[in-house]
Amino acid sequence: MKQKLTIAVASGKGGTGKTTVSASLACAAADAGYRTAYLDCDVEEPNGHLFLKPSINYRHMVGIPVPVVDQEKCINCGLCGEICQFSAIVCINKNVLTFDKMCHGCGGCSLVCPAGAITENSRNIGVVETGDCGNLRFCHGKLEVGEALSPPLVRAVRAILQEEDLSVIDASPGTSCPVIAAIKGVDYVLLVTEPTPFGINDLEIAVDMVNELHIPFAVVVNRSVPDHNLARDFCRDNKIKILAEIPDDRRVAEAYSRGKLPYSGVPGYRELFAGLLDTAMKEAGQ
Ligand code: SF4
Ligand code: SF4
């Protein structure tokens, strides 16, 4: 391998089979002899562990710094409220109020406070767990129930396993901030879609997102049908490569319901994902 490589697997909407593709791709890479990490950055609903069944051997809490105001020191200048873009700190009637759940932990308010009245406390937003599944390194983040701020946790997952040759990121579905946090700066993106009108609509939005971020990408069509295939039409019209088509196969759904990946549970799929890995690595310049 010429250099370390990070491939993200994303999709414009949920339920396309993104986890199946990312986890299978990671297994194929590990079986091919690459030191590989699977990073589940879908922190609101991580489910890669259900298929990979890792043994977790390290766990740490992730927090963001939130302000604590010493009202005795405060001179009521109002600068903290002015700089906060999220209305997480406001000055009312010579009192400074803070709203931890709205705070993004940017540290701006404590920086501008001229009286040194603001210190920081850590607010827990979730946990990162790492472990092993055979020859594959595993990491996922789990967002606290009711927590809305997921990008810092996504970044914590991405930061933790840096030693491997190949990292496969399982991003959240959609195109919002957690997805941007998961795919920003990666070498290559695989967009998983299904050949339905809804699937194509969301694929179009996801294509705009990766183009905006200037990341090379290609499409994987899941539940592909031989004849009228909207995904094929869309990719042909927009000159987008399709690196693999995973057939609409009842055996895959049955394996999924038993908590098994098609890679290990259905004959023929090991070769399919080994081929996808090979092509994706070549496309990514390896
Ligand atoms: S740390 Fe940033 S987001 Fe949080 S209250 Fe201060 S300025 Fe607002
Ligand atoms: S910036 Fe500091 S001194 Fe000014 S209102 Fe906020 S806490 Fe008080």
In a domain, 40, yes or no: no
278 in the same domain as 169? yes
Pocket around ligand 1 at a 6 A CB cut-off: 67, 83-84, 86, 88-89, 103-109
Q: How many CB atoms lie within 10 A of CB 6?
A: 19
Q: What's the mean pLDDT in 186-198?
A: 93
Tally the C-alpha atoms within 13 A of residue 135's C-alpha that lie toward its C-beta: 13
Atom 2 in ligand 1: which residue has the minimum CA distance?
106
Q: Give the DSSP per-residue string, 8-72.
A: EEEESSTTSSHHHHHHHHHHHHHHTT--EEEEE--TTS--HHHHH-PEEEEEEEEEEEEEEE-TT
Q: How far apart are CA 276 and CA 245, in angstroms?
A: 9
Atom 3 in ligand 2: which residue has the minimum CA distance?
74
In a domain, 54, yes or no: no
216 in the same domain as 111? no
264 in the same domain as 184? yes
Q: What's the mean pLDDT in 116-141?
A: 96
* Mean pLDDT score of the chain: 93
69 in the same domain as 30? no
99 in the same domain as 15? no
Question: Which atom of ligand 1 is nearest the CA belonging to 120?
Answer: 1
187 in the same domain as 228? yes
| Structure token digits, residue 88 | 């997480």
Token look-up 């600068």 returns 79
The torsion angle over the Cα atoms of residues 25, 26, 28 and 30, rounded to 10 degrees, is: 160
The domain in which residue 100 lies consists of 65-124
Q: Give the DSSP per-residue string, 96-156.
A: EEE-GGG-----HHHHH-TT--EEEEEEEEEEEEEEEETTEEEEEEEEPTT----HHHHHH
Using pLDDT thresholds of 50, 70 and 90, give the confidence band for residue 13.
confident
Using pLDDT thresholds of 50, 70 and 90, give the confidence band for residue 204.
very high
241 in the same domain as 170? yes
| Structure token digits, residue 274 | 């080994």
Q: How many domains does the chain have?
A: 2
In a domain, 153, yes or no: no
| Structure token digits, residue 73 | 């020191």
Q: Which ligand is nearest to the CA of 67?
A: 1
Q: Is the pLDDT of residue 70 over 70?
A: yes
> What are 217's strand-pairing partners?
189
Q: What percent of the chain has pLDDT over 70?
A: 99
Q: Which amino acid appears at position 140 of this protein?
A: H
In a domain, 42, yes or no: no
In a domain, 101, yes or no: yes
Q: Which ligand is nearest to the CA of 118?
A: 2
102 close to ligand 2 (CB < 6 Angstrom): no
Q: What's the mean pLDDT in 210-235?
A: 90
In a domain, 159, yes or no: no
96 in the same domain as 26? no
The pLDDT of residue 284: 87
111 close to ligand 2 (CB < 6 Angstrom): no
CA 89 to ligand 2 centroid distance, Å = 10
The pLDDT of residue 98: 97
Contact 80, 118 (CB under 8 A): yes
25 in the same domain as 70? no
Taking only the tens place, the pLDDT of each residue in 17-65 is 899 999 999 999 999 999 999 999 999 999 999 999 999 999 999 999 9
| Structure token digits, residue 71 | 């009202």
The SS3 assignment for 247 reads: strand
At 69, which CATH number? Answer: 3.30.70.20
Q: How far apart are CA 227 and CA 229, in angstroms?
A: 6
In a domain, 80, yes or no: yes
77 in the same domain as 28? no
Q: What's the mean pLDDT in 5-28?
A: 92
171 in the same domain as 84? no
Contact 127, 141 (CB under 8 A): yes
User: 63 or 160, which is more confident?
Assistant: 63
103 close to ligand 2 (CB < 6 Angstrom): no
Q: Which ligand is nearest to the CA of 83?
A: 1
Q: What percent of the chain has pLDDT over 90?
A: 78
Using pLDDT thresholds of 50, 70 and 90, give the confidence band for residue 225.
confident
In a domain, 152, yes or no: no
For 101, phi then psi, to 5°, come to -65, -20
The preferred substitution site among 90, 109, 111, 118 for testing ligand 1, maximizing ligand atoms within 8 Å of CB, is 109
The pLDDT of residue 1: 63
CA 147 to ligand 2 centroid distance, Å = 27
Taking only the tens place, the pLDDT of each residue in 131-147 is 999 999 999 999 999 88
Using pLDDT thresholds of 50, 70 and 90, give the confidence band for residue 2.
low
At 256, which CATH number? Answer: 3.40.50.300
265 in the same domain as 169? yes
The pLDDT of residue 197: 87
